Chain A
Amino acid sequence: MSCKLVRRHLGAFVDGELDPATQIEFERHLEACPGCQEHLAFEGSLRQQTRDSIGGARAPEHLWGRTLHRLDEIDEARADHTSPIEVRPMRWRQTWPIAAAAAAVLIIGGVVGLPESPEYQSAGMLQDVMNLHSQALPSDVQAEAPQEVVRYFKGKTPFPVKPAKFEEPSMKFIGARYIRVGSRPAAALYYNLGGHRVTLLVFQSPEIVRNAQRTHVGGREIYYHDVGGNVVTIRQQGGVNYAFFGDIDRRVLFRLAANARVAY
């Protein structure tokens, strides 16, 4: 074993990242080679000095408290209004017997989909959508002119995003943010329906109507999935999928899906 080789990989040796056989060979060489021993001493000493010089900053006292305050807000949001979208639906049902109509998710997806692994089928996607909603992430862009929202999503999503409009007067646009569903870029648009949180997700998902059931509302064809006692409602129109999710009365869901104006 040459000095060159030992010195080249001295860093990995000090880190203990060589395979055991090579490690032993290095040790054997080092025992017999004063030159390499010096390199080793230098490597070790510099490591120590680097740690002492650039590490060891202490967090300011208030930082932990400040962070806990933010976590409190998340806990409150979770306890207050989460949603039909509890990951375990049975448990949710036990816990929230009366809190029907707490929230809804509306999904709008383009038909042209990105390739996705076969195991990421519609069921997994629906689960992800539920999780995204239950996390109640904050908006990045607040309720502003639709142009602001369009601009915010420009370059972020491979499709243009506009806040959908609804006939229901109590359906209010709150804000939006960029998000990912699986590996896909998506837009989450937040609404409020008579005090209940409604999330609208825009992403490309041809698979989401796979194995879905079908019905007709107001002359429109509607797909829906039953997920853990809750229902996801999907509308297809002009190469776009619209889907509602939530525990609100499914007739309300169907009507929202049928009447949403997205292309305007």
Chain B
Amino acid sequence: MPRKSKKIAVERQLFEVEAQPHLNALYSMALRLTRSPVDAEDLVQDTLVRAYRFYDRFEAGTNFKAWLLRIQMNTFVNRYRRATRERQVFDGPMAVPVGEGVMSRASMRGLTDPVGDAQRRLIAGEINRAFEELSDEARAMVLLADVEELSYKEIAEVIGCPIGTVMSRLHRARKQLQVSLHQHAVQLGIIEGDDDDDIEDPIPLEAFRSRKARKS
């Protein structure tokens, strides 16, 4: 069966060349999703096995990393999360609107330009802690956007939701991270707490666009 073996070998080689550069991204994401190195390894392996089985379904020219991450998200949601009773949805804590003006200028400056390695490490630790407190969905948004730097369109495909939903979920996730980071940073004395900023209401971009359209 030389022809068949050859076909398999060619496909296999293509897959390896395409997949291997994304191994660290997959593992990094899996580790953050499962919070366990053992589970993360299993998740990555299951993801790659599934991807290889369905390799013929991959549309050439689209983002392979996004495709792998989508498979991994689905595998995670179906297998690993189903096992735990925890199921945080955006209707839960994520539905609470987060004010825009969450911190003062002084606080912002303190977090923007950490002074010295010690402070940098402290803030990094606090970002980690704040991140771990987020819901599964919010963590996925931050990972896909801020760590993997996927476009909103790609994130929409990975998560399986409209782009508008990506925008609002991502915004909320980032704000939650900032609020949590800020509160702890003040408590730890990394930055000084003061509350001279007002809490602002979010303004939808559409309102601005339509206002602008009316003017012109």
Cα–Cα, bound, A59→B114 (Å): 29
Known: A45-B113, A54-B32. A8 touches B202 (CB 8 A): yes
The stretch of A70-78, A212-220, A234-242 in contact with B is A70-78
Residue B195 lies at the interface, judged by CB distance under 8 Å to chain A: no
The one of A4, A66, A94 in contact with B3, judged by C-beta atoms closer than 8 angstroms, is A94
Number of residue pairs spanning A and B whose beta carbons lie under 8 angstroms apart: 150
Q: What are 7 sample pairs from A and B whose C-beta atoms fall under 8 A apart?
A: A5-B208, A38-B108, A42-B112, A50-B131, A53-B123, A64-B23, A74-B49
Chain B residues with CB under 8 Å of A11's CB are 170-171, 174
Which residues of B (159-216) have their CB < 8 Å from a CB of A? 167, 170-171, 174, 177-178, 181, 200-203, 205, 208-209
Contact indicator A17/B127 (Cβ below 8 Å): no
Q: In this complex, what residue of A is CB-closest to B208?
A: A5
B174 touches A67 (CB 8 A): no
> Which residues of B sit under 8 angstroms from A5, Cβ to Cβ?
203, 205, 208
Contact partner of A8 (CB less than 8 A), chosen from B16, B28, B37, B100, is: B100
Complex Cα distance, B174 from A35, in Å, reads 20
With both beta carbons as reference points, the residue of chain B lying nearest to A54 in the complex is identified as: B131
**Chain B contacts of A7 at CB under 8 A?**
100-101, 200
B contact set with A: CB distance below 8 Å: 1, 3-5, 8-9, 12, 15-16, 20, 23-24, 26-28, 31-32, 37, 41, 44-45, 48-49, 52-53, 56, 100-101, 105, 108-109, 111-114, 120, 123-125, 127-128, 131, 142-143, 145-148, 151-152, 167, 170-171, 174, 177-178, 181, 200-203, 205, 208-209
- Is residue A46 within 8 Å, beta carbon to beta carbon, of the partner chain? yes
Across-interface contacts of B209 in A (CB, < 8 A): 22
* Pair A50/B45 contact, Cβ less than 8 Å: no
For A46, the chain B residues whose CB sits under 8 A away are 111-112, 127, 178, 181
Closest chain-B Cβ to A204's Cβ sits at a distance in Å of 21
Which residue on chain B has the smallest CB distance to residue A39?
A: B108
Complex interface: chain B residues within 8 A of A4 (CB): 100, 200-201, 203
Given contacts A17-B152, A54-B127, contact A71 B48 (CB under 8 A): yes
Judge whether A58 and B27 touch: CB under 8 Å.
yes
Q: Is the CB of A57 within 8 A of B124?
A: no
Minimum Cβ distance to chain A for residue B54 (Å): 8
